[in-house]
């Protein structure tokens, strides 16, 4: 059976950087609180005229260029996002149009911070069973547009950005070895955007109640995130008859440094086995893993044959891990 192999990566971060010191002027917080509780020092924020699809297109073009593939050679586009340009049509369709991927089907996956792992696992099925030859998988978010900039519990955590990979069906040892996806919808209320949908349709009073913004019960999310990211990484490795000793790099969803450190210690991974960029990127939800992957790739950290693990957790709750051989 063919495997879905990553043949190009790309990422894009908006130019504007928002530091903890900038946030001190916006809400009742301090650089010290943010950096000790989250490990985040700064995050990128999209400009007014940058949409989620624009970030995605920049990342996608970089991935296509690295892959040496033109947009018309892509058969399918899957975008993981919870901050699409519109509730519908999908951001994937907007990207398809903007890059000229005229032969691709296109759809979005809504799995919050697990969006990229859900998307790449889905795309791999199409490549493995021969239904598609090349796929473009993107994680892209403009979370700054759904932040309550008066809520210090949440607005200090998140950032904007996009990451993309081009996958090709290939014979051989390299590619996605397996993907393991989970969900537990009973936790939907701990991390969500209440408005505006069929439950809370658009209304002036809804805006006054801050419904269009992200709501989170941080403490509860924290505990379940650590447990789930640990468990699914072990599940994924065991499924491939591997242990943490086989892992060159684990790419966790960049939620917050304390979560990452807790996961790393539970997994008994060395520090240099986990890729971390949350200090400079913040939590970019579905974009965080592909941005990290691209940064590691362009820094020359990945060699053919390396075992990598992608490990995500997000709203829903959703969580999942993929094991791949580079």
For the annotated catalytic residues, the residue numbers are 113, 253, 283
Question: What backbone torsions phi and psi does residue 158 show, to the nearest 5 degrees?
Answer: -105, 155
The residue range among 27-35, 67-75, 179-187, 273-281 that interacts with ligand UT7, by the rule CB under 6 A, is 27-35
Task: Note whether 212 binds ligand UT7 by CB under 6 A.
Answer: no
What character string, x for contact with ligand UT7 (CB under 6 A) and - otherwise, covers 104-133? ---------x--------------------
Question: What backbone torsions phi and psi does residue 120 show, to the nearest 5 degrees?
Answer: -70, -35
| Interface with ligand UT7 (CB under 6 A), residue from 124, 135, 156, 237 | 156
Q: How many residues make up the chain in this entry?
A: 326
* Rounded Cα distance, 7 and 292, in Å: 16
Distances, alpha carbon 144 to alpha carbons 8, 52, 161, 209, in Å: 28, 11, 10, 18
**For the chain, how long is the longest CA-to-CA vector?**
57
Q: Which residue is it, tokens 């996002």?
A: 81
| Interface with ligand UT7 (CB under 6 A), residue from 153, 203, 209, 243 | 153
Residue showing the smallest CB distance to ligand UT7 in the complex: 218
| Interface with ligand UT7 (CB under 6 A), residue from 9, 11, 20, 38 | 38
* Residues binding ligand UT7: number (CB under 6 A): 21
Distances, alpha carbon 52 to alpha carbons 13, 43, 133, 161, 244, in Å: 11, 16, 26, 8, 35
Task: Note whether 37 binds ligand UT7 by CB under 6 A.
Answer: yes
The residue range among 43-51, 219-227, 230-238, 262-270 that interacts with ligand UT7, by the rule CB under 6 A, is 219-227
Task: Note whether 31 binds ligand UT7 by CB under 6 A.
Answer: no
């Amino acid at each position: 059976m063919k495997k879905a192999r990553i043949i190009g990566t790309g990422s894009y971060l908006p130019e504007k950087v928002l530091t903890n010191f900038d946030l001190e002027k916006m809400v009742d917080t301090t650089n010290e609180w943010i950096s000790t509780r989250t490990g985040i020092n700064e995050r990128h924020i999209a400009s007014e005229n940058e949409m989620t699809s624009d970030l995605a297109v920049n990342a996608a073009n970089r991935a296509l260029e690295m892959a040496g593939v033109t947009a018309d050679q892509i058969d399918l586009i899957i975008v993981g996002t919870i901050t699409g340009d519109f509730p519908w049509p999908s951001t994937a369709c907007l990207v398809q149009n903007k890059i000229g991927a005229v032969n691709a089907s296109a759809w979005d996956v809504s799995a919050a911070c697990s969006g990229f792992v859900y998307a790449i696992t889905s795309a791999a099925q199409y490549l493995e069973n021969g239904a598609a030859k090349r796929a473009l998988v993107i994680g892209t978010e403009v979370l700054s547009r759904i932040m309550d900039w008066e809520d210090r519990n949440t607005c200090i955590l998140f950032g904007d950005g996009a990451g993309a990979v081009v996958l090709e069906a290939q014979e051989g040892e390299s590619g996605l070895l397996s993907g393991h996806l989970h969900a537990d919808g009973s936790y939907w209320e701990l991390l969500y955007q209440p408005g505006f949908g069929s439950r809370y349709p658009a209304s002036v009073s809804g805006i006054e109640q801050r419904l269009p913004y992200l709501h989170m019960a941080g403490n509860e999310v924290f505990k379940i995130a650590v447990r789930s990211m640990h468990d699914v990484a072990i599940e994924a490795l065991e499924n491939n008859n591997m242990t943490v000793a086989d892992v060159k790099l684990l790419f966790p969803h960049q939620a917050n440094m304390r979560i990452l450190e807790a996961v790393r210690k539970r997994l008994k991974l060395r520090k240099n086995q986990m890729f971390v960029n949350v200090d400079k990127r913040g939590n970019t939800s579905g974009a965080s893993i592909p941005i990290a992957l691209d940064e590691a790739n362009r820094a020359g950290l990945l060699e053919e044959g390396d075992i990598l693990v992608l490990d995500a957790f997000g709203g829903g709750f959703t969580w999942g891990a993929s094991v791949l051989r580079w």
